[in-house]
Structure 1
Amino acid sequence: MSRHPAKIVFVAAVSLLAIGAALSLGAANAEDVTEDQVLKALTPQKKPLTRSLSMVPPAQSDPASEAEGKLMQSLRNRSTRSLSMEEREQIAAIVKSKPNIDLEINFDYNSDRISARSLRSVQALGRALANPELKGSIFIVAGHTDAAGGEEYNLNLSERRADSIKHYLVETSGIPAADLITVGYGKTKLKDPAHPLSEVNRRVQVVNTENKTTASK
């Protein structure tokens, strides 16, 4: 009789451990993003074709689009830390109207090293950017932090983390380095300003600028 309570306690403990492991696995899987999700988010919407019976003169060039294209080309192969505040704001204005996705990428504490539990999401990102649907586009990789800490510290950390994502994609997925423009915003552009310390603010945003490179075609 005295052995049964111990056995019950042992079984209960094993069950709790199993449940805990399952919950942990579920939480890890919930953070993962798939290649299809990234591809869908970053693929530009195709404009419907229209027919007209009348002769329509060729559309004139859009000065805004030309300026945007020149900016993107000027930023290729540039160091993140060489960007001026004006250029950062220009990039921020451009991404508002472009296909983008926010990824919850975890890093080691006070580090730009990608955590093991986020590698699958970064790998899925790499596969999507190498997909024929997106290959050759110029992408912006923007790092963001929450509001904890000083501005200069967070800006530096966000830059390093954006660069870390870029280096990983170049090394493991074969994405041309010139097709990835990195920028850090620190805590200046919170996703949830009402909750400045929320983890949703600690993110990496990837944007398809829809500017195709000639070298990648």
Structure 2
Amino acid sequence: MTSFYRLSALSAITLSAALSMTAGLAIAGEKVSADQILNALQPKKPLTRGLSAGPQADPAVEAKQIRFVDTLRNRKTRSLSLGEREEIAEIAATKPKIDLEIQFDYNSADISKSSMPAAQELGKALSNSTLKGSTFVVAGHTDAVGSEPYNQELSERRADTIKRFLTEQYGINGADLVTVGYGESKPKDTGTPTDPANRRVQVVNMETKTASK
């Protein structure tokens, strides 16, 4: 198992097997700034009344989603059931999101020195007042090299590492960061499960503000 995750801002992410999502802006293999991350994670603006742009969100469905996300606050990553992980994926599919290229030390959950700037830019973005109170999912993914149990555990550890970094270094409220691991189960490149592009940690703005707490 090689040692890095790949995160890239998505403009089209497909919910293939429930978390290879659609929509975004793609930043891959280049230095990403806090502003780019901030723009990708901005909550969707409500449509002006009278404008038609497809089906509108069902308030009852949104309320149910908010209640579900609230149950995830302060949960340990490994405590999430398969059903809960899939439900997170389904909700996250339509939310603002970004993948950043973050590498980890070999066979480890420690952020590599070369990837620390990207992690720092993420911390700056999530500290911005315009995102205050939002709940973010930090989802770990691996490629298919190695066993499924190993990859599942590694994806969880790496998601936990990002959460710990954000809370300790940037004072992000831990209850606003939901970590989940998907191992090799949701590749970005479904045609090539072993492709390095599948090694990534995705950050999703679930758009549940403090009003929901």
- TM-score by length of structure 2 reads 0.80
1:34 matched residue in structure 2 = 33
Secondary structure of residue in 1 paired with 2:140: strand
> Is residue 170 from structure 1 mapped to residue 170 from structure 2 by the alignment?
no
User: Which of the numbers 75, 88, 110 marks the counterpart of 1:91?
Assistant: 88
Question: How many percent identity over aligned positions?
Answer: 54
The gaps in structure 2 that reach 5 residues or longer are 1-27, 52-56
Runs of 4+ in 1 over 4 A off after TM superposition: none
Give the 3-state SS of the residue equivalent to 2:103 in structure 1.
coil
Higher relative contact order (CA 8 A, sep 6+): 2
Separation (CA, whole Å) in 1 of partners of 2:190 and 2:66: 31
Gaps of 5+ in 1: 1-28, 53-59
Q: Report what 1:143 is aligned to.
A: 140
The structure richer in helix per residue is 1
Give, as a single letter, the amino acid of the residue that structure 2 aligns with 1:49.
Answer: T
Alignment root-mean-square deviation, CA: 2.2
Deviation of 1:104 after TM superposition, in Å, equals 1.5
Contact 1:32 1:118 (8 Å CA) reproduced: no
Partner of 2:46: 47
Q: TM-score, normalised by structure 1?
A: 0.79
| 1:52-71 mapped onto 2 (5 Å cutoff) | 62-71=59-68
Deviations 1:172-207 (A, max 9, x none): 111000000000000000000112121110000000
Q: 2:64 is matched by which residue type in structure 1?
A: A
Q: Is the 8 A contact 2:29 2:101 kept in 1?
A: no
Aligned residues: 182
Structure 2 counterpart of 1:32, one-letter code: K
**Other-structure match for 2:72:** 75
Residue pair 2:137, 2:178 contacting (<8 A) in 1 also: yes
Q: Secondary structure at the match of 1:154?
A: helix
